Amino acid sequence: MRKTTAKHLTNDNEGIAAAVRFLNDGRLVAFATETVYGLGADARDGQAVARIYDAKGRPQFNPLIVHVQDLDAAQRFGVFDAQAAQLAAAFWPGPLTLVVPLAPGHGLSPLVTAGLDAVGIRVPAHPLARRLLAAFDGPVAAPSANPSGRISPTTADHVLAGLSDRIDAVLDGGPCPVGLESTIVGGAPLALLRHGGLAQNDIEALSGPLAAAGPGIRAPGQLASHYAPRARIRLNAMHASADEVLLGFGAMPCDLNLSARGDLIEAAANLFGHLHNLDARDMPIAVAPIPNTGLGRAINDRLNRAAAPR
């Protein structure tokens, strides 16, 4: 991990331009939204998204919310049925995240959705977030800008207290007016996945009664629908047998390598894409050992789930 001190960017053209440069360079920028500060990265850039998990010290790849400027932009990444489009029209911009099926050709890193085929999307209402998204003109993946296991930040100082030496910049929009994370709905029938800044009643006035939040949803690593390959997975393999394909790590002969140079950020960025590719070959997958440090913990968590009997 690089040791730096995050730049404190102010709410003006210069601050926004600097934030956009960081995002274009694959770096991490925390920014104000009306709910809580988000830790943003270009959602199309797998290594940038991997840095989010690394900076937060997340032990698992929970799916991240994609932030966009408006419903038009959202429809490039997700498929909105009539009900989702109606909620978006009513409550965006605002503290509502809609989990919808990924659109064909979406171009998002698979790490954003943790390999799932649905994506959480939100159009934030904070003027600074809106200016940033308009200037960047691309999808920004952003979880709350706190170290894993700590509470969500509602000021730039909170962000810096937790992540100052792990991120590139914070774009200061003052205290967050809502101060609670967004409400999340998704699935068919439409379910409440997380309570948040938009009241359930307000949603139900349009959608009718929502199904209850499942107990596993708050800890999304436990999502029943987490991505698992069809193929049998064998971990800690140095070699593949004749009827297996080998997913490598570090310099070694293999079918696909997560990172030939042994870089865990690169490995995380490649994890879901490589698993999908190898899975398409219809052979059991042997996986090289991954060091259990830094992002390696999240990689191993996901590999262990994929290897577990089901």
With beta carbons less than 8 A apart as the criterion, state whether 181 and 23 touch.
no
For the bound state, the minimum distance from the C-beta of residue 161 to Mg ion, rounded and expressed in Å, comes to 16
97 lines the binding site for ligand TXA (CB under 6 A): yes
65 lines the binding site for ligand TXA (CB under 6 A): yes
> What residues numbered 128-157 form the site for ligand TXA, per CB under 6 A?
142-144
Of 56 and 130, the one with the shorter C-beta distance to Mg ion is 56
With beta carbons less than 8 A apart as the criterion, state whether 77 and 66 touch.
yes
Nearest by Cα to 133 from 29, 48, 217: 29
How many residues line the site for Mg ion (CB under 5 A)? 1
Q: Interface with Mg ion by CB under 5 A: which range of 139-147, 182-190, 197-205, 221-229?
A: 139-147
Of 98 and 278, the one with the shorter C-beta distance to ligand TXA is 98
Of 43 and 286, the one with the shorter C-beta distance to ligand TXA is 43
Alpha carbon separation from 257 to 109, 254, 264, 269, 280 (Å, rounded): 17, 6, 12, 12, 16
247: its two tokens: 């997913």
- The enclosing H or E element of 269 equals helix 264-279
Nearest by Cα to 122 from 68, 72, 197, 202: 68
For the bound state, the minimum distance from the C-beta of residue 181 to Mg ion, rounded and expressed in Å, comes to 6
Q: Which of 27, 30, 35, 93 binds ligand TXA (CB under 6 A)?
A: 35
27 lines the binding site for ligand TXA (CB under 6 A): no
With beta carbons less than 8 A apart as the criterion, state whether 14 and 110 touch.
no
Sheet harboring 7-9: ordered strands across? 7-9, 169-171, 29-31, 38-42, 140-141, 65-67, 118-122, 96-101, 183-186, 191-194
**Which residues 6+ apart lie within 8 Å of 258 measured at CB?**
247, 248, 249, 266, 267, 270, 271, 274, 288, 290, 299
With beta carbons less than 8 A apart as the criterion, state whether 267 and 249 touch.
yes
Look at residue 113 and give the partner it binds from Mg ion, ligand TXA, none, a contact being a CB closer than 5 to 8 Å depending on partner kind: ligand TXA
- The enclosing H or E element of 241 equals none
For the bound state, the minimum distance from the C-beta of residue 116 to Mg ion, rounded and expressed in Å, comes to 17
Nearest by Cα to 229 from 290, 179, 274, 168: 274
Q: Which of 11, 33, 35, 144 binds Mg ion (CB under 5 A)?
A: 144
120 lines the binding site for ligand TXA (CB under 6 A): yes
Look at residue 271 and give the partner it binds from ligand TXA, Mg ion, none, a contact being a CB closer than 5 to 8 Å depending on partner kind: none
119 lines the binding site for ligand TXA (CB under 6 A): yes
Which x/- pattern, by CB under 5 A, does the window 155-194 give for Mg ion?
----------------------------------------
220 lines the binding site for ligand TXA (CB under 6 A): yes
**Residue 253 three-state SS:** coil
Which residues sit at the interface with ligand TXA, rule CB under 6 A?
33, 35-36, 38, 62-65, 97, 99, 113, 116, 118-120, 122, 142-144, 181-182, 184, 193, 217, 220
Judged by the rule CB under 5 A, the positions of this chain that interact with Mg ion are 144
